[in-house]
A and B are shown apart, each in its own frame.
Chain A
Amino acid sequence: MSILEVKNLSAGYGKRLILEDISFEVNDGEICGIIGLNGSGKTTLIKGITNIIPHSGNAFIDGQDASLLSSNILASLCGFIPQKSGISIDLPVLDVVLMGFNPKLKLLQNPNSYMISKARAMIKTVGLEGRENDNFQKLSEGQKQLVLLARALASDSKILLMDELESYLDFKVRYKTMNLIKNLVKTNNMGALLSMHDINLALNTCDKLILIKDKKIADTIYPKTDLVADIEHKLSSIYGEVSVHKIKTDANHEQMVMLNRPEE
């Protein structure tokens, strides 16, 4: 079943159109990556879907038109992780994660003990156990992203929307975090839409990749089923001369890598 359905979405800033007539779906249990060059509109797509910027066309989240939803209902359906948090004051990590429960709380209500213990569990899940009382501002950018992930997971949303989550994470944490998202998405029948720069990570963890070029979806890659030659051809249309290889790791697992063809 489709968790997110984007239909003919066009979005931009002022008179400048960044995306034109974008349509795609994300099904439950599916991780969908958005890839493209810098400035191609990956972040704009997420902002258009979540109604943050003006747009035409529709985005249906769990069957409901996002543009008709109140910010509270929209927030209860989407777990959103921005490229960088705008939190500007000293707050303990636990308080940042508890922000994720806001859609479930009334205006003057405070998080209850169940929410606090769930927030602690989410902090543990993202590997930051024991850091609950640390100042969020003093964490590294990568750790901050993990806290925001814990906040998005705490809210029991239908779809996770993540804007370059991996950009501040080191190599090891990047794969660990993606595997964690993968497990949570599968077990909770959620969907995930991620804008990504790390193609190798995207090829090895996403179920589907949307390639954005010249304001439109240039192609869609299904890494698990598409032929390597096809994937290479599609990625070359975005990144220029690249080669894609399937290699076997020590544990006999297959992984894909994209390499840049050196210029002659």
Chain B
Amino acid sequence: MRPSTALASKHNSLLFVVFGALLCALFILSLFIGKYPLTIEGLISGSELQWRVFTTLRLSRVVVGLAGGFALGIAGFIFQTVFRNPLASPDIIGVSSGASAGAAAGILFFSSSIMVTLCAFGGALIAIVLAIAFSVIDRGGHKSTVVLAGIAVHAIAQTVLMCLKLVADPEKELASIEYWIMGSLNGINSHIIGSNLILCVVGLILLIMLHRQSILLSSSGDEAKMLGVDVTSMRLILLGLSTLVVSSIVSMTGLISFVGLLAPHCAKKLTGNNSVSTMILGGLIGSCILILADILARSVAATELPVSIFTSAIGAPFLVLLIFQGRKDT
């Protein structure tokens, strides 16, 4: 191994240790924060109520935070690579909004959680198709076009959502939809997460295994084709899987902003490349951001706040910075 390769590998290992340790600390901290006080002593003494809160509510919530942040980080990496645009991420291009509208339709017309997930996936797929179609209209290929396409998709999704809210039963469905749109890990319990987590994990494993294909797509379409890539099919597979993992999370948590943009960028800044370890590091950072935002959402005010308040507080200025950087580069 060349000295510089060995050095880079050591640097990456160090980053994994740091973020792995941070994630473990946040995971444990998050288990013990919430309305109902849990204590290690209480759990050790075998308090039935504490164990029930721990296994049914707290653990599920933190696991979804971990999986959700990881999924958004990985999906963000794929979107940025496949769209060849540093501004692309599930929420910026409107995929999360599409999933929200789809999930709202699921809440309204079906009752099972798997149907809500499937509707969220359908909504997200429609959103991504629209975002690609709108981006293609701008032949200038400006990097901010994808953001404008996202705004348009978001507006359409919001209109659909408003229509759905109008027909929703104000007592039950409307409250569920409203709560859902705010984006929160509150309400997650062990009974609803099973199938969604399986979908999410399977999708993530496939995306990590397809990392090399996503890197090939980072070149122009002609170049990728001449490297033996079936460009259209591979784009569809990667974007479809990314949309699936985002939908599986968003259908449980509601809209979570900016994690998919922030996490992969932080990982790329830290490693300086787009290797598979950077992709996974982006997932770890995404998990850290989401669990931290959830801890803050539960602890800074008397009532629980939406997590997106905290993720947006960092994410929105970061997006503006990226747009300005893009303008300088072109």
Chain B residues 216-271 with CB under 8 Å of chain A are 216, 218-223, 225-231, 268
Is the interface on chain B under 10, 10 to 19, 20 to 34, or 35 or more residues? Answer: 20 to 34
A103 at interface (Cβ–Cβ under 8 A)? Answer: yes
Contact A133 B5, CB 8 Å, known A99-B215, A107-B213: yes
Complex Cα gap A76–B272 (Å): 31
B10 at interface (Cβ–Cβ under 8 A)? Answer: no
**Residue from B209, B226, B272, B273 in contact with A75 in the complex, judged by beta carbons closer than 8 Å:** B226
**Cross-chain contact A85 with B227 (CB below 8 angstroms):** no
Complex Cα gap A135–B84 (Å): 17
**Residue from B2, B212, B213, B216 in contact with A133 in the complex, judged by beta carbons closer than 8 Å:** B2
Q: Which residues of B contact A48 (CB under 8 A)?
A: none
Query: What is the CB-to-nearest-CB distance from A38 to chain B, in angstroms, rounded to a whole number?
Result: 20
**Residue from B8, B212, B229 in contact with A71 in the complex, judged by beta carbons closer than 8 Å:** B229
**Residue from B81, B210, B212, B219 in contact with A85 in the complex, judged by beta carbons closer than 8 Å:** B219
Contact A95 B215, CB 8 Å, known A52-B226, A78-B226, A86-B223: yes
**Residue from B4, B84, B231, B273 in contact with A91 in the complex, judged by beta carbons closer than 8 Å:** B273
Q: Which residues of B contact A75 (CB under 8 A)?
A: 225-228
**Cross-chain contact B273 with A87 (CB below 8 angstroms):** no
A156 at interface (Cβ–Cβ under 8 A)? Answer: no
Which of B216, B222, B227, B268 has the largest number of chain A CB atoms within 10 A? B227
Q: Which residues of A contact B231 (CB under 8 A)?
A: 71
Which of B5, B81, B216, B218 has the largest number of chain A CB atoms within 10 A? B218
Complex Cα gap A47–B220 (Å): 14
A189 at interface (Cβ–Cβ under 8 A)? Answer: no
Query: What is the CB-to-nearest-CB distance from A147 to chain B, in angstroms, rounded to a whole number?
Result: 12
**Residue from A89, A92, A110 in contact with B218 in the complex, judged by beta carbons closer than 8 Å:** A89
A195 at interface (Cβ–Cβ under 8 A)? Answer: no
**Cross-chain contact B4 with A76 (CB below 8 angstroms):** no
B189 at interface (Cβ–Cβ under 8 A)? Answer: no
Contact A103 B228, CB 8 Å, known A86-B219, A95-B215, A132-B2: yes
**Residue from B2, B5, B80, B227 in contact with A100 in the complex, judged by beta carbons closer than 8 Å:** B227
Knowing that A71-B225, A74-B228, A85-B223 are A-B contacts, what are 15 other residue pairs whose CB atoms are under 8 Å apart, sorted by A's residue number?
A: A50-B225, A50-B226, A52-B222, A52-B226, A71-B229, A74-B226, A78-B226, A90-B273, A92-B273, A95-B275, A108-B210, A132-B2, A132-B5, A133-B2, A133-B4
Sample of 18 A–B contacts (CB below 8 Å): A50-B226, A71-B229, A71-B230, A72-B228, A72-B230, A74-B226, A74-B228, A75-B225, A75-B228, A80-B226, A88-B85, A89-B218, A90-B268, A95-B273, A99-B216, A102-B227, A103-B227, A107-B210
